[in-house]
Amino acid sequence: MTRIADIFGSAIVAVGAFNPAIFSPDWLERNKLIGQGDTEVAKNTPSLIVSPQITVFETDWFALQVLENQFSLTSKGALTPAFKDLAVGIFSLVSHTPIKAVGLNFLAHFRFTTETEYHQIGDVLAPKTIWNKLYPETNSAGLANLTIKIQEAERGKTPRSANEKTISVQPSGKVKFGVLLTINDHREICDSTEMTKAEQVAELLESDWQISWNETVRVFDLIVSQALSTV
């Protein structure tokens, strides 16, 4: 049975060479990517910065930060495909921006009904036997941050590409008896004679973001359900 996360969100992060000053709320509204209401919210928040070095602002449903070398769009509230559509629209407008890589990131905070269930997640994913032997006088080892990297390669062999997934598990700072799961679906952007790199990013998001979301839900559910089913 699929567990529903208390908090579920996404971030789309790209590495490249950006001109932060153009990514203003007014620019997004002029290009019909956000409405006037979103623009007013963004322009009236204390966090608003629009400059050649950095642009930062947020609306009720997303936060945007653009540095000279990094673009980051983060969801707020309920996640919907409109979040992906915004990113696709932005990269379509800056089609000649050189981009090296993009990450399709997802996070989920899961709440557990008892402290026993909460600890079982960490005990299964990171067994404590060796640590309790090393520190028998305390016997209180606990999972703080577990990271697993998934590459397109057999162990010991060269990966078939630079694409990879990184999955992390750690205690939630927002949910009591909660665990935070994150996944970074990293994609390298290669040269193409048919499309610019920004155009490739827009197409990748259009075709793969929902697939990555669905895969994330499947993986997170398996991690939690299998850990809890282990005796």
pLDDT at 231 over 70: no
Cα separation, 91 vs 213, in Å, equals 20
More confident residue, 165 or 1: 165
Stated as kind and residue range, the H or E segment containing 50 is strand 49-50
Q: What is the pLDDT of residue 131?
A: 87
What is the rounded average pLDDT of the residues 62-82? 97
In this predicted structure, the answer to whether residue 42 has a pLDDT above a threshold of 80 is: yes
pLDDT at 33 over 70: yes
Any idea what DSSP says for residue 217? Answer: H
Helix/strand/coil (H/E/C) assignment for every residue in 105-159: EEEEEEECCCHHHHHHHHHHHCCCHHHHHHCCCCCCCCCCCEEEEEECCCCCCCC
Which pLDDT does position 4 carry in this prediction? 85
Choose among 72, 68, 36, 70: nearest CA to 57. Answer: 72
The pLDDT assigned to 50 comes to: 97
* 24-32: average pLDDT: 98
Look at 174 and 140; give whichever has higher pLDDT.
Answer: 174
pLDDT at 139: 66
- Write down the pLDDT at residue 196: 96
Integer Cα distance of 228 and 31 in angstroms: 48
Instruction: Tell me what pLDDT residue 160 has.
Output: 67
Tens digit of each residue's pLDDT (9 = 90 or more) over 205-229: 999 999 999 999 999 999 999 999 8
Look at the alpha carbons of 29, 34, 38, 43 in this order and tell me if their dihedral is positive or negative: negative
Tens of pLDDT, residue by residue over 80-121, are 999 999 999 999 999 999 999 999 999 999 999 999 999 999
Residue among 105, 135, 124, 87 at smallest CA distance from 230: 124
d(CA 207, CA 106): 17
Q: Report domain extents, the chain.
A: 7-18+69-229
The residues, any chain, with a CB within 8 Å of residue 5's CB and separated by 6 or more, are 108, 109, 110, 220
The predicted model scores a pTM of 0.93
DSSP code at position 96: T
**Interval 121-169: pLDDT, tens:** 999 999 988 888 888 877 678 899 999 999 877 777 676 677 999 999 9
pLDDT surpasses 60 at 56: yes
